[in-house]
């Protein structure tokens, strides 16, 4: 028996996209796969869901991974590898075929929200810089051909080495030889397509190279005196904010004050060689935990306080086949056996960081460590209805707020109502393992769900 008669007209996806608009910052994770010992993609998707991680970035368009991510409720950034940039720049029939085989084929069941065209192209030893913007434009035209240009944004992750200067942040500037050939045309493209500049930012590198000058607490989001920017008097409490503002200042300096930034990689290695100062598991835990906390408080950087910081952690797993220094193989949040390398609290299920010196800021409403349960809008109506009936019936969820006339009746959609009921059940059951499943119709999120004016309780 159906407890509620629902209009299905408003079935829609609810989460805010980092590429369009956000109320508070978002956490995603890079799913790198340069390893021979990682779990199967299906298991990885389960792991992401169990951690409340609902955004993932890939370095390619691997078919098994994109298939496993179908109908998972996880939003995906895919990549066109550097090695394919010259072909993509040369010929739109190439990008047509690439988009068809690597993107179109998986949508909409796999929720691809952006394409990273190349990665850290300016430091690619293949010298592919000249191909970048033409390749981005061709991919964009191909997306338009398949009517995917509205749903999918294009960008390209820059390494911070694209900056000639980053200190103080207000003096941030791009390397002069990149500005005319590639920076300006790329920013112009991002502006015209309402996309964001992707930036890979590693306070670890800056710290390791300048450990005598930079305080470790400042790099690790711990309590510290902060640094005042001598150019504009703004105070920085952590190095990542300073790095991002150096990028904003560099964009401003070339006339692009309005393009937004998404941090496509950041992380801290849990192990390193002897000369890699600062690498280690306690620091990795402090960095990643501090970062998650900082992002979810929802504030922007000192230069752009209104623009929440959206970041993708690097990386999901330790990758044993990466070359280079020891740190390269030790950025993972998880070991390949899915045990945590360090305890980063994405959600209530993870133990809190046991550091009595660490203080959670009281003033901003932090949702750190909280999780909610929501309906997967892509599961069948039948499954959602079944879950809703169970939650509100036998399950004992508090479903009064979604009755006609009550506060959460609007929006009147099955997904919104099911989400409310699923979350109530999940919270009542102390967010226990398996209490946010409903036959696969639900998943855990680490940011407060938004359906109209309805507020979803947490705790119980």
Ligand X SMILES: *[C@@H]1O[C@H](CO)[C@@H](O)[C@H](O)[C@H]1NC(C)=O
Catalytic residue list: 120, 265
Task: Name the residue nearer to ligand X (CB basis): 119 or 299.
Answer: 119
Residue 94 C-beta: closest distance to ligand X, Å:
7
CA distance 331 to 328: 6
Question: Site residues for ligand X, window 198-257 (CB under 6 A)?
Answer: none
> Does 380 participate in binding ligand X (rule CB under 6 A)?
no
Q: Which of 20/127 has CB closer to ligand X? A: 127
DSSP state of 181: I
Spatial distance between the Cα atoms of 403 and 406, rounded to a whole number of angstroms: 6
Scan residues 163-202 and list those touching ligand X (CB under 6 A).
none
Locus of tokens 């869901």: 49
Q: Within a 10 A sphere around the Cβ of 162, how many other Cβ atoms?
A: 21
Q: Find the shortest distance in angstroms from Cβ 460 to ligand X.
A: 23
If the CB atoms of residues 98 and 207 are measured against ligand X, the closer one turns out to be 98
**Least spacing, CB of residue 99 vs ligand X, in Å:** 11
**Which of residues 98 and 346 has its CB atom nearest to ligand X in the complex?**
98
Q: Is 273 in the site for ligand X (CB under 6 A)?
A: no
Binding mask 90-109 toward ligand X (x if CB under 6 A, else -) reads: --------x-----------
Q: What six digits make up the tokens of 56? A: 């993932």
CB 117 within 8 A of CB 197: no
Q: Find out whether 156 and 136 touch, Cβ atoms under 8 Å.
A: yes
Site for ligand X in 107-136 (CB under 6 A): 127, 130
CB nearer ligand X, residue 84 or residue 270: 84
Backbone angles phi, psi at 180, to 5 degrees: -70, -45
Beta carbon nearer to ligand X, 185 or 336 = 185
CA 453 to CA 420: how far, in whole Å?
A: 12
Contact 436, 421 (CB under 8 A): no
354 belongs to the binding site for ligand X (CB under 6 A): yes
Q: Which among 80-88, 330-338, 365-373, 418-426 is the span making contact with ligand X, rule CB under 6 A?
A: 80-88
Q: How far is the CB of 312 from ligand X (least distance, A)?
A: 23
Lay out the site mask for ligand X across 382-421 (x = CB under 6 A, - = otherwise): ----------------------------------------
Q: How far is the CB of 401 from ligand X (least distance, A)?
A: 37
User: Residues 231, 166: contact at Cβ < 8 Å?
Assistant: no
Residue among 147, 323, 356, 380 that touches ligand X (CB under 6 A): 356
The Cα 421–Cα 417 span in angstroms is: 6
Shortest separation between residue 186's beta carbon and ligand X, angstroms: 15
CB of 315 to ligand X, least distance (A): 22
* Residue nearer to ligand X on the CB measure, 61 or 227: 61
Query: Whose Cβ is closer to ligand X: residue 129's or residue 232's?
Result: 129
Is 84 a binder of ligand X (CB under 6 A)? yes
* CA 99/CA 52 separation, integer angstroms: 29
Of 23, 83, 177, 258, which lies in the binding site for ligand X, with binding defined by CB under 6 A?
83
Q: Which lies closer to ligand X via its Cβ, residue 369 or residue 411?
A: 369
Q: Is the dihedral of CA 239, 240, 245, 246 positive or negative?
A: positive
Q: What are the φ and ψ backbone dihedral angles of 372, each rounded to 5 degrees?
A: -130, 165
Alpha-carbon distance of 424 to 435, in angstroms, equals 10
Interface stretch with ligand X, choices 79-87, 160-168, 172-180, 234-242 (CB under 6 A) = 79-87
Helix (H, G, I), strand (E, B) or coil at 113: strand
Cβ-proximal residues to 294 (8 Å cutoff; 6+ apart), any chain? 25, 221, 238, 240, 309
Site for ligand X in 43-72 (CB under 6 A): none
- Which region, left, alpha or beta, applies to residue 74 given φ > 0 means left and ψ of -120 to 50 means alpha? beta
Cβ at position 12, least distance to ligand X in Å: 33
Q: Which stretch binds ligand X (CB under 6 A): 20-28, 81-89, 336-344, 425-433?
A: 81-89
Cis upstream peptide for 458 (omega within 30°): no
DSSP string over 330-391 = ---SB-TTS-BSS---SSTTSPPP--TT----SSS---TT--EEEE-TTS-HHHHHHHHHHH
Shortest Å, Cβ 354 to ligand X: 4
- Beta strands 75-80; 55-58: pairing state: parallel
**Are the beta carbons of 44 and 335 closer than 8 angstroms?**
no
- Number of shown-chain residues binding ligand X (CB under 6 A): 8
Instruction: Kindly list the residues in this chain that would bind ligand X in the complex (CB under 6 A).
Output: 83-84, 87, 98, 127, 130, 354, 356
């Amino acid at each position: 028996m159906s407890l509620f008669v629902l209009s299905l007209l408003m079935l829609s996806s609810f989460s805010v996209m980092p590429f369009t608009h956000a109320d508070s910052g978002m956490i995603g994770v890079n799913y790198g796969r340069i390893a021979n010992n990682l779990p199967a993609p299906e298991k990885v998707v389960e792991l992401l869901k169990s951690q409340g991680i609902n955004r993932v970035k890939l370095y390619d368009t691997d078919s098994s991974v994109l298939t496993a991510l179908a109908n998972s409720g996880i939003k995906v950034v895919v990549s066109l590898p550097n090695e394919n940039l010259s072909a993509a720049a040369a010929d739109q029939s190439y990008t047509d075929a690439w988009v068809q085989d690597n993107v179109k084929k998986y949508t909409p069941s796999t929720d691809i929200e952006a394409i990273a065209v190349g990665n850290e192209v300016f430091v690619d030893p293949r010298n592919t810089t000249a191909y970048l913007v033409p390749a981005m434009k061709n991919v964009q035209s191909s997306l338009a051909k398949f009517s995917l240009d509205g749903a999918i944004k294009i960008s390209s992750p820059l390494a911070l080495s694209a900056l000639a200067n980053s200190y103080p942040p207000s003096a941030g500037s791009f390397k002069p030889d990149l500005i005319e050939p590639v920076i300006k045309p790329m920013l112009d493209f991002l502006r015209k397509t309402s996309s964001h500049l992707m930036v890979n930012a590693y306070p670890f590198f800056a710290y390791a190279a300048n450990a005598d000058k930079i305080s470790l607490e400042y790099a690790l989001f711990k309590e510290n005196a902060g640094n005042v920017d001598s150019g504009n008097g703004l105070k920085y409490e952590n190095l990542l904010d300073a790095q991002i503002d150096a990028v904003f200042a560099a964009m401003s300096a070339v006339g692009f004050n309005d393009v937004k930034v998404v941090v496509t990689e950041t992380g801290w290695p849990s192990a390193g060689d002897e000369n890699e100062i600062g690498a280690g598991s306690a620091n990795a835990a402090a960095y990643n935990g501090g970062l998650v906390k900082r992002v979810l408080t929802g504030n922007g950087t000192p230069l752009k306080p209104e623009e929440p910081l959206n970041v993708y952690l690097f990386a999901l797993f330790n990758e044993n086949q990466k070359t280079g220094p020891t740190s390269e193989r030790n950025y993972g949040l998880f070991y390949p056996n899915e045990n945590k390398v360090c305890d980063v609290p994405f959600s209530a299920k993870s133990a809190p960081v046991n550091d009595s010196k660490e203080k959670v800021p009281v003033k901003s409403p932090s949702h750190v460590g909280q999780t909610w349960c929501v309906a997967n809008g892509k599961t069948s109506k039948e499954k959602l209805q079944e879950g809703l009936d169970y939650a509100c019936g036998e399950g004992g969820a508090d479903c009064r707020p979604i009755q006609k006339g009550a506060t959460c009746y609007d929006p009147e959609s099955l997904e919104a109502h099911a989400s409310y009921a699923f979350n109530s059940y999940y919270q009542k059951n102390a967010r226990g393992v398996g209490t946010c499943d409903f036959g696969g119709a639900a998943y855990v999120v680490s940011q407060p769900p938004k359906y109209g004016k309805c507020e979803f309780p947490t705790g119980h």
